[in-house]
Amino acid sequence: MKIALMMENSQAGKNAMVLNELNVVAEPLGHEVFNVGMSDDNDHHLTYIHLGIMASILLNSKAVDFVVAGCGTGQGAMMSLNAHPGVVCGYCLEPSDAFLFNQINNGNALALAFAKGFGWAGELNVRYMFEKAFTGERGQGYPIERAEPQQRNAAILNTVKAAVAKDDYLDTLKALDPELVKTAVGGARFQESFFTNCQVPEIAEYVRSLLD
């Protein structure tokens, strides 16, 4: 699995710690992590609005399989990511949230709170959330006797979201303010991850046109 980590401006100072905890969990499982957001306070400036655009481009182009995002409360990042087609983002404050999202909702993104409630041993909470998010087979249901309706409802939600977002993804992307998208894709690490792994040439072509 390819996992993108993206941090916005208010929590960029925690990037090194979050990246380390994600790698501690992901690497032994054979997952590849791409650090595509801000790495410190002086990096390419991003808000949680940009994170939603970045996540949608990476997921819809199949450049990555999963996105870990967040902000101070996690709420803005969750709303921003879920505003886009093809992104199903859960809200995660503790390991049980990650486990239940993994098993019941089986989405492709998580939004974490990197400031609210982030105190002593916060890095351990982050690590344990990643363990529950990426360990074991996804979408098995919890409790197990509820597996069948949960799997059915998760699939229905995906079809509802696809129906609501009637336009082709590229048309949706082009409808956004080009300067907003250009800022979102302006980071060097994002571009390296995206252009190396993108499987939808039309999306890559549009992103490259903005950068050129």
Q: CA torsion angle for 192, 195, 198, 201 (degrees, to 10)?
A: 170
Compute the average pLDDT of residues 126-143.
Answer: 93
Compute the average pLDDT of residues 184-193.
Answer: 97
> Alpha-carbon distance 34 to 53, whole Å?
16
Compute the average pLDDT of residues 30-37.
Answer: 98
What is the predicted pLDDT for the residue at 76?
A: 97
CB-CB neighbours of 124 under 10 Å: 11
Using 50, 70 and 90 to split pLDDT, how confident is the model at 205? very high
Which residue in 48, 35, 39, 36 sits closest to 8, CA to CA?
48
> Alpha-carbon distance 140 to 150, whole Å?
9
Compute the average pLDDT of residues 55-80.
Answer: 98
What is the predicted pLDDT for the residue at 66?
A: 98
> Alpha-carbon distance 88 to 82, whole Å?
6
pLDDT above 80: residue 165: no
Domain boundaries defined on the chain: 2-211
Strands (DSSP E) found in the chain:
2-5, 32-35, 66-71, 89-92, 109-113
pLDDT above 90: residue 30: yes
What is the predicted pLDDT for the residue at 163?
A: 82
98, 133 contact by CB (below 8 A):
yes
pLDDT in tens, 40-67: 999 999 999 999 999 999 999 999 999 9
What is the predicted pLDDT for the residue at 161?
A: 83
What is the predicted pLDDT for the residue at 167?
A: 78
Which residue in 52, 110, 46 sits closest to 85, CA to CA?
52
For 66-81, give one letter per residue: b (16+ CB within 10 A) or e. bbbbbbbbbebbbbbb
What is the predicted pLDDT for the residue at 210?
A: 97
pLDDT in tens, 83-121: 999 999 999 999 999 999 999 999 999 999 999 999 899
What is the predicted pLDDT for the residue at 162?
A: 82
For 2-211, the fitting CATH number among 3.40.1400.10, 3.40.1010.20, 3.40.50.720, 2.40.30.10 is 3.40.1400.10
Q: Is the peptide bond before 149 cis (omega within 30 degrees of 0)?
A: no
What is the predicted pLDDT for the residue at 158?
A: 85
| Tokens at 18, concatenated | 């979050």
Strand, coil or helix: 40: coil
Compute the average pLDDT of residues 127-145.
Answer: 93
